[in-house]
Amino acid sequence: MVANLFSELIAQDELVILQNFTSVCWPSAGVNTIDLTGGWDTYSGYQVKVVEDQQVTIDGTVLTDRTFTCDNAGWYLIPVLNDCGASVEALFGEVLNDVIVVKEVAGTRVYWPGYVQTLTFLEPGRSYIAKFSDAVSFTYPECTDATAPAGNSMETFSPEYWDMVPATSNSHLICFYTNALAGLPQGSELGAFTTDGLCVGATPINQIGEPLVLVSYPNDETTPEKDGFTNGEPLAFKVFFPDSGHEETLEVITYNQNMPDASGNYAINGISGINEIQAVSAIHENADEISIFPNPTSGELQIKGLPEDVKEIIILDLVGNIIFEISNFQKDENIILDLSGLPKGIYVLNLKSTSTSITKKIVLK
């Protein structure tokens, strides 16, 4: 019974909540449906929240049956049924075509076939949330010297500029495809925000030309304050540019309609894809009066209507390298830039004033 397994934590008011997808032990609310329905289930994963870091020792015997079975398609909270863990691809090898996504319960690592694979190993002592397209069954390997515990190289990301809420379970995954990221330089940070401005997920842009997944977190129902998305709340995004120290709001142009959640609203364990975004330059009141043409261009680029406080014009590549920079120009005239000597591709035009910045995507064809 979980009341016995966690008796010390419960007595010290250290256990906030323990739950799977069907039952819950919530001591402060006086609820324990886990024990009412048979107690601890070895073949179920559990989500747990404690007041501070804890180590819980659970006595038992080594399992001889290490097979986990999902009777239907859908979401599952899966345990690790051995002492050494398993490689994701090796564990799901025979059913890999039925794996839609595997993710950490309250973390940023994810195994999403065809998109992003930052979760490569399932570690003992943890549970994971997985979605399958069909009924599946898979078996954890017997532990030998060849299956010594491994880990995941990716560390949980903490944004430099925003204060992000603590991670919670049942996150919404948002994939930004390569096209959507075009024009955002390497080193930028993407964030997901509630309508009242809470940062509820963030990720760095580390690799140009690769999709990335932004993990966004729901409201924690065990706390009195709002600290995450509510179900159905509109998704909002921002990008932060560390080099210039400013942020911009991102407007989603198109969601992938083939994904389960394409409405632009938060969903518990949601899965979304974003095809195209654009930066909204709310940081400068005259941004809409600037004309940049032709774009795409074969070499010559004209800039008209620069605000008086713009002091510098910078062009960067997608890695963030400064390719072109001028600060001596007449703002009351059309500014003509010759980009014909640059390789064809996508660049970032940054118009910097004393306190703000305006960023535009430039295509050189």
How far is Cα 134 from Cα 267, in angstroms, rounded to an integer? 21
Query: Residue 304 above 80 pLDDT?
Result: yes
Q: What is the DSSP code (8-state) at residue 75?
A: E
Selected residue with higher pLDDT from 69 and 276: 69
**Residues in Cβ contact with 63 at an 8 Å cutoff, skipping those fewer than 6 apart:** 42, 81, 82
Domains 172-280 and 287-364 share a fold: yes
- pLDDT (0 to 100) of residue 280: 59
Which sequence spans correspond to the domains of the chain? Answer: 2-50, 67-147, 172-280, 287-364
Q: Render pLDDT for 259-297 as a digit per residue (tens, 0 to 9).
A: 999 999 999 999 999 988 876 544 445 556 788 899 899
Tell which CATH architecture fits domain 172-280: Sandwich (2.60)
What is the per-residue pLDDT for 282? Answer: 41
Asked if residues 45 and 127 have their Cβ atoms less than 8 Å apart, the reply is yes
pLDDT per position as a tens digit, 88-136: 999 999 999 999 999 999 999 999 998 999 999 999 989 999 999 999 9
pLDDT at 150 over 80: no
Distance, in Å, from the CA atom of 363 to the CA atom of 348, rounded to the nearest integer, reads 9
* pLDDT on residue 247: 83
Residue 356 pLDDT = 60
pTM for the model: 0.76
Q: Measured between alpha carbons, how far is 256 from 211 in angstroms, rounded to an integer?
A: 14
Q: How many CB atoms lie within 10 A of CB 151?
A: 9
Q: How many CA atoms lie within 13 A of 356 on its CB side?
A: 14
Read off the pLDDT of each residue in 350-358 and give the average, rounded to a whole number: 69
In contact, 143 and 66? CB cutoff 8 Å: no
Residue type, 28: S
- Across 56-65, 150-159, 193-202, 242-251, least confident range: 150-159
- Compute CA distances 232 → 175, 195, 228, 345, whole Å: 18, 11, 12, 38
Residue of 336, 341, 335, 343 whose CA lies nearest to 363: 343
Residue 147, phi then psi, degrees to nearest 5: -115, 40
Of 63-77, 283-297, 317-331, which one has max mean pLDDT? 63-77
Structure confidence by residue, pLDDT tens digits, 172-182: 999 999 888 87
Residue 228, pLDDT score:
95
Mean pLDDT, residues 234-259 taken together: 88
Q: Lowest-pLDDT range, 53-62, 67-76, 212-221, 224-233?
A: 53-62
Asked whether residue 363 carries a pLDDT value surpassing 90, the answer given is no
Compute the distance between CA of residue 68 and CA of residue 337 in angstroms, rounded to an integer.
62
Check whether domain 287-364 has CATH 2.60.40.3080, yes or no: yes
Instruction: Compute the C-alpha angle 337/338/341, nearest 5°.
Output: 145
pLDDT of 209 reads 81
